[in-house]
């Protein structure tokens, strides 16, 4: 260990000496001064040495741009009038310099992230026209989608297009609006899955009874925060598109465009997804689109939609066959979890509670952080209160089990914590009261439900 430490120290000294030789003593000194001041948020003291480094040695360090953004935002906050506008203008210039001098971060392009920050700054400080803001977001999304990950930025990207659409801006058609919605929502889905994968590693460690390190706890908090942000902004995105994507709007649009897109699997899949989401699946066009999709490119989604069609026709065996085909066609575990959850919802809608729970539990095996699966199981239990138990007390005791499962949702998926707690409290409000427990004299005992639930719950102690 001592040898490794000595090696790192020597490496640092040699690197610092090399940087000093390359940059010159003044650049190195000013870099050190402004970074130390910026670290403690003394942005006023950091400004002059930062300006010096920014223009004399712009490729010296990424810190010039990371801290520079904070320094200028602090100056904007403290200034007014023409002086404020000048600081805003300088911040916009900084983003361009950032892309020019440090487009790569940790070996990967950061251009999308920088451009998205620039576009968000344009919104915050009311710079440029709506079209210019959109074009900046669009450049980030189309040129470097990988680093464009900020949930607020992704939401505002679509929101600016929607605003252009509502203002009847030239070229922003309903087709383009729906396509952009699908692209952005798919990006949200991708980022959410990345977070879920990281969170599930920690959840498994916790479930196995292993000690959680400080890093684990810190990472879990960060993942929870980011997951919650994705949930909120994706929900806002859906709220916007729901105003436009009624069946009355979708069906004529897809009918008009079907012939030219019937060989495009992406278009067919998105059209089927939107029609299913908006409950337009009773229309014959849904059948046409789904059958075309499955014939062109059999996939987990196309098989799932065929399962829905057979469910609607009352052919339960054929529906189940397609649902199972959907699962087998999906190779990605997180997409498989989402498919299983969607199938669970279909069975829940048809009153097949035990089957719905089975599919929800299968989904949780592939994605332990899929909190909405716990919420669905909890609602299945709550809806069975009158069907389980021999006495009125036992029937209402089902709500304790529902509340317990609901809270699991908030524990594994931070974005659902508020809704999960609200659901749990609602269930507990329908469970036996303390007076009921006292009257029954069964505090601390176990109640087993011999109905489809096949589980038990412990009566709370008084």
Residues 159 and 185: their CA atoms lie apart, in Å, by 12
pLDDT score for 414 = 85
pLDDT score for 23 = 60
Query: Which contacts (CB < 8 Å, 24+ apart) does range 117-120 have?
Result: 117/69, 117/150, 117/153, 118/92, 119/153, 119/156, 119/157, 120/150, 120/152, 120/153, 120/156
From residue 220, alpha-carbon distances to 196, 206, 294, 460 in Å are 10, 11, 40, 30
Of 313, 325, 314, 308, nearest to 273 by C-alpha is: 308
| Confidence (pTM) | 0.82
| Sign of the Cα pseudo-torsion (210, 211, 215, 221, in order) | positive
* DSSP labels, 70-91: HHHHHHHHH--HHHHHHHHHHH
Of 335, 315, 298, 451, nearest to 383 by C-alpha is: 451
Secondary structure tally for the chain: helices H, strands E: 21, 4
Residue 248 structure tokens: 């009355």
Q: Interior CA angle at 92 toward 91 and 93, to 5°?
A: 90
- DSSP run (H or E) holding 362: helix 353-366
Are 372 and 410 in contact, with CB atoms under 8 Å apart?
no
Residue 238 structure tokens: 């859906």
Are 113 and 145 in contact, with CB atoms under 8 Å apart?
no
Residues 366 and 387: their CA atoms lie apart, in Å, by 30
Query: For tokens 């098989």, what's the residue?
Result: 303
The residues that bridge with 456 in the sheet, in sequence order, are 448
Residue 406 structure tokens: 């609901």
Residues 320 and 221: their CA atoms lie apart, in Å, by 39
From residue 146, alpha-carbon distances to 63, 188, 253 in Å are 22, 12, 31
Residue 459 structure tokens: 């009566």
pLDDT tens across the length of the chain (462 residues): 444 344 433 443 334 444 444 567 889 999 999 999 999 999 999 999 999 999 999 999 999 999 999 999 999 999 999 999 999 999 999 999 999 999 999 999 999 999 999 999 999 999 999 999 999 999 999 999 999 999 999 999 999 999 999 999 999 999 999 999 999 999 999 999 999 999 999 988 888 888 889 998 999 899 889 988 998 999 999 999 988 989 999 999 999 999 999 999 999 999 999 999 898 999 999 999 999 999 999 999 999 999 999 988 889 899 999 999 999 999 999 999 999 999 999 999 999 999 999 999 999 999 999 999 999 999 999 999 999 988 999 999 999 999 999 999 999 998 899 999 999 999 999 999 999 999 999 999 999 999 999 999 999 998
């Amino acid at each position: 260990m001592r040898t490794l430490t000595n090696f790192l120290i020597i490496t640092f000294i040699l690197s610092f000496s090399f940087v000093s030789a390359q940059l010159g003593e003044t650049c190195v000194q000013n870099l050190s001064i402004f970074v130390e001041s910026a670290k403690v948020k003394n942005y006023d003291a950091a400004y002059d040495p930062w300006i010096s480094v920014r223009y004399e040695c712009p490729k010296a360090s990424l810190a010039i741009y990371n801290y520079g953004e904070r320094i200028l935002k602090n100056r904007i906050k403290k200034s007014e009038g023409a002086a404020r506008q000048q600081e805003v203008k300088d911040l916009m210039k900084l983003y361009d310099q950032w892309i020019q001098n440090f487009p790569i971060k940790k070996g990967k392009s950061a251009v999308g992230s920088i451009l998205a920050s620039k576009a968000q700054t344009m919104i915050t400080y009311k710079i440029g026209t709506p079209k210019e803001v959109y074009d900046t977001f669009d450049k980030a999304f189309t040129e470097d989608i990988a680093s464009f990950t900020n949930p607020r930025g992704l939401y505002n990207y679509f929101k600016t297009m929607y605003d252009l659409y509502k203002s009847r801006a030239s070229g922003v058609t309903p087709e383009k609006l729906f396509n952009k919605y699908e692209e952005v929502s798919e990006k949200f889905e991708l980022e959410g899955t990345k977070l879920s994968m990281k969170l599930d590693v920690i959840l498994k460690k916790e479930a196995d009874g292993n000690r959680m390190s400080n890093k684990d706890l810190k990472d879990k908090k960060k993942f929870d925060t980011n997951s919650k942000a994705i949930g909120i902004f994706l929900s806002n995105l859906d709220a916007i598109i729901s105003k436009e994507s009624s069946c009355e709007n979708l069906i004529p649009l897809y009918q008009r465009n079907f012939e030219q897109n019937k060989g495009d699997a992406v278009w067919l899949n998105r059209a089927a997804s939107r029609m299913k989401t908006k409950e337009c699946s009773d229309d014959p066009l849904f059948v046409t689109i789904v059958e075309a999709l499955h014939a062109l490119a059999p996939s987990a989604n196309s098989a799932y939609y065929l399962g829905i069609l057979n469910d609607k026709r009352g052919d339960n065996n054929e529906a189940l066959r397609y649902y199972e085909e959907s699962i087998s066609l999906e190779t990605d575990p997180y997409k498989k979890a989402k498919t299983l959850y969607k199938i669970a919802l279909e069975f829940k809608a048809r009153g097949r509670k035990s089957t719905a729970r089975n599919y929800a539990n299968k989904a949780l095996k592939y994605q332990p952080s899929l909190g909405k699966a716990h919420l669905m199981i909890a609602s299945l239990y709550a809806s069975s209160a009158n069907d389980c138990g021999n006495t009125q007390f036992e029937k209402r005791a089902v709500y304790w089990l529902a509340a317990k499962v609901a809270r699991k949702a908030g524990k594994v998926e931070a974005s659902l914590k508020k809704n999960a707690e609200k659901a749990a409290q609602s269930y507990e409000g329908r469970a036996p009261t303390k007076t009921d427990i006292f009257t029954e004299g069964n505090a601390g005992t176990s109640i087993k439900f011999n109905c489809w639930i096949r589980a038990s719950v412990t009566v709370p102690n008084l």
